[in-house]
Structure 1
Amino acid sequence: MASINKPLEEYDSVKTWYQGLREQSGIEPNEDKSRLALLAEFCATLELDPDEIVAACLLRKEGKETKISIKGRRSMAERITDFQAQGGAEGRERAKRGNAVRSFLIHNGIQLQSGIQI
């Protein structure tokens, strides 16, 4: 497990997320730092950097393509659900905690169900 040793914006997975937000949603991530703050909190909770979080959802086979790990994705979805419940948030703010992390993973090619409970 690595610690975060550089600004989150310098991780390839965060760059991919930001590019996806801009291209697909017309959102400028730098205008709302709350998404990045939630990702930083999630990373600290798991003691993983953003790239490691994405990697935890993947299987790498020698000489073949990288594929989604069903087990890794399921485990990460459970961790996101737990994270969403933390922090004392209610309703929409609670959903925002989980949705920020899900958005990060989805833009990095990891499809997740929202599991939103408002």
Structure 2
Amino acid sequence: MDDLTSKKCVPCNSKDIQPMSEQAANELLQQVQGWNLVNEDGVVRLRRSWKMKSFTKGVEFFQLVADVAEAEGHHPDLHLVGWNNVKIDTWTHSIGGLTENDFILAAKINSLHVEHLLRRKAAV
């Protein structure tokens, strides 16, 4: 099993790209600690939430995520609710489902050093 952080997202505009099965998604989910599969309006997505120290720390976190997303060419939905509640949803918008790209992005987000931004230490 390859480490997802060592992989690169592939372009999502290929006509051959298809959403992965729920079984395949559940297998990859084991490699992205803290993320969950959610089904909203028939679209399966990856989701993770964090609590930040402040609103500005949430914005700083989003900038780090944006840098990763731009480098990968794969862009998640970013939500900052209230003053410190951050949520990220990722799925491959062009096909309306999950691909390996979403798990690669989640793994790379997990590898960011963000402890200084978090309200409390993440559970191990």
By the TM > 0.5 criterion, same fold?
no
Q: Report the TM-score, using the length of structure 1 for normalisation.
A: 0.29
Which is richer in strand?
A: 2
Structure with larger RCO (C-alpha < 8 A, sep 6+)? 2
Q: Report the TM-score, using the length of structure 2 for normalisation.
A: 0.28
Which is richer in helix?
A: 1
